[in-house]
Every structure is written in structure tokens, then in C-alpha cells.
Amino acid sequence: MKHKFEFFITMVLLKILMLFPERSRFKFAEFLAVVGYKLIKKRRLIALANLKLAFPEKTDKQREKIALNSYKIMSKAFLSSMWFREYLKKEGNVKLVGMEEVEKLYTEGKGIMVATMHMGNMEASLKAAEKFHFTTVAKAQRNPYLDEYITKNREEANVTLLKKSKTTSRELMKHIQEGDIIALFSDHRDKGAVVDFFGEETVAPTGAVSLALKYDMPFAWCYNVMHKDNTCTTKIMVMELEKTGNFKADVLHNTQKLINAMEKAIRENPSQWMWFHDRWKLYKKLYKS
């Protein structure tokens, strides 16, 4: 009953929100971001600690500005996911850079593995699904009604959304064999390889790299940059994975290669990345006491 009520309230609020122009909706998202930044102390401290690690040369004021702008972009990305089909269809909202290379690779019939990032308007990268079928993986929402709503929306946008579970690997293999484009987030902390990220040792997920190597799939990575006018650009880059015949070593080496490329993208667009994720497990170390 609780989940039904929550979903009902969410849908009512969404309908009210949709009465306003898109620009006003994004302004509301920015307002929510400022409120969240000020009220949710833990996430604010994590963001600032991460930024201090990544950009020690910047002043506190500069890092605070990056953190707040990051909150605004993430808030706009999250909220716009509720009307993302409308957002994707509007001409000029999403620019795709690098699709020509993707189209060439797709003709090989092996599918494509794409490593994605929590950066900019992440959902906007689904614009590419207008031409190709995508499969991706995400955690199921706690509210089953909201989860069903999100899954249905993605399916209508030519995207298969697999839920993380014990059978995810088996389901992914099926889509790989069918020649799908598989998109997996690869920038957050997760079980995998030990890597150097912004000069600090941490762990990075190896799923995208290991599957691409195992099934001999073409490999690409992408990120999104959201602009001040709320349009955005998704950049897709093909990356040649290096193979020596030692699978484990190749996974480690190519994961580090991917992380290096992602770090460069973040350094060029620091406000676009999700800094409030505890990427280096700094919160417990610095603030728990």
C-alpha cells in the first residue's frame, strides 16, 4: 500500500511539473539541488573531500563552486529522466559526437561494448537508441511500481533495462550473442581492479572491459556534457583494447587505460561529474569521528 501511495504522489507531482515549460522544470531541479547541497551534510562533505583529493591546487571556494554546479547538473539529469523521451525527441537538445565510428563498428555484427559515466545528462546518451538497440544494467528501484514505470519507459525508447541480480551475467550473454550494444557504467567504485584514479589507489569495475575481451567485442566509452541552456553533447570514443593473451593482465591494463581516459574527461569538465559518490571511501576516514 505504501509503494502504491508513493507512486501515486510521484505521478501527480510529475503531471503538475509537466504543466510548466521545460526551462522552468530545470530551474526547479536547480532549486532542489541547492536545497539538497545545503541540507544533506554527508553528501556535501563527500563531494568536497573528493574534490580536494582530485584538485588539491584549487581553492576551497573553487571546489565548492564545482560541487554545487555538479549537484545542479545531476539534479537536472535525474528530474529530466521523468520526461526523457520528450527531451530526446526535441530537436537540438542532444548532440551525438562520434556516432559515425559506432555505425562502422556495428556493421561487424559483434555488437559493441560501451563504458559509460555518471556525467552530465547521462540519460541523454540514449539518443543513440533511436538507431540501435541498447541493453544496460541498473539496480531495481525499491518501489516496484516506479521500477516498472522506468523499465517501460526505457523499453519504449528501444532500451532493454536488466536488473542487477544473480542471473544478470547470463542475461547479458544472451544480448551479447544477439549483437546488441551493451552500455555499462564504469566510473564508480565497485568490485573489480585496483587502479590509480586522480593519483589515489581505488577500485574500478571491470565488467565492460572483461566482457569485451572475453567475447571479442568492439569497445567504446562515452560521457555527456550538459550545457547552460540545458542542451547537451554526448561524446562517444572508440578505444582499442590491448591483448597479450594473458586475460587477467589484459583486464587490469585496459581498465586502467579506460580510467585514465575518464579522468582526463573529468579534469576537462569537473562540474559535470557526480562528486557526491564516495569514490575513494573518504567519508568514513575523514568525517566519521
* Nearest-angstrom CA–CA distance, 219 and 237: 9
Give the model's confidence band at 285: pLDDT under 50 very low, under 70 low, under 90 confident, else very high: confident
Residue type, 288: K
Q: DSSP string covering 173-233, please?
A: HHHHHTT-EEEEE-SS--SEEEEEETTEEEEEE-HHHHHHHHTT--EEEEEEEE-TTS-EE
210-220 per-position pLDDT tens digit:
999 999 999 99
Residue 287 has pLDDT above 70, yes or no: no
The single-letter DSSP state of residue 121 is S
- pLDDT at residue 2 is higher than 90: no
Order of all β-strands in the sheet with 219-226 = 94-97, 232-238, 219-226, 112-116, 181-185, 134-138, 159-163
Mean pLDDT of 239-257: 98
Please give the residue that has the higher pLDDT: either 123 or 231. 231
What is the mean predicted confidence (pLDDT) over 237-245?
A: 97
- Residue 163: beta bridge partners? 138
What's the whole-number mean pLDDT along residues 252-271? 98
Nearest alpha carbon to residue 213 among 190, 194, 239: 239
In the chain, what is the straight-line distance between the N-terminal and C-terminal CA atoms, in Å?
39
Q: Which residue has the cell 569538465?
A: 269
Pick 181 or 84 by higher pLDDT: 181
Q: Pick from 124, 130, 126: which is nearest to 79 by CA?
A: 124
Model confidence pLDDT, tens digit, residues 82-132: 888 889 889 999 999 999 999 999 998 899 999 999 999 998 888 887 888
Q: Does residue 289 register a pLDDT over 60? A: no
- The mean pLDDT value of the chain amounts to 93
Q: What is the predicted pLDDT for the residue at 288?
A: 61
Q: pTM score, two decimals?
A: 0.93
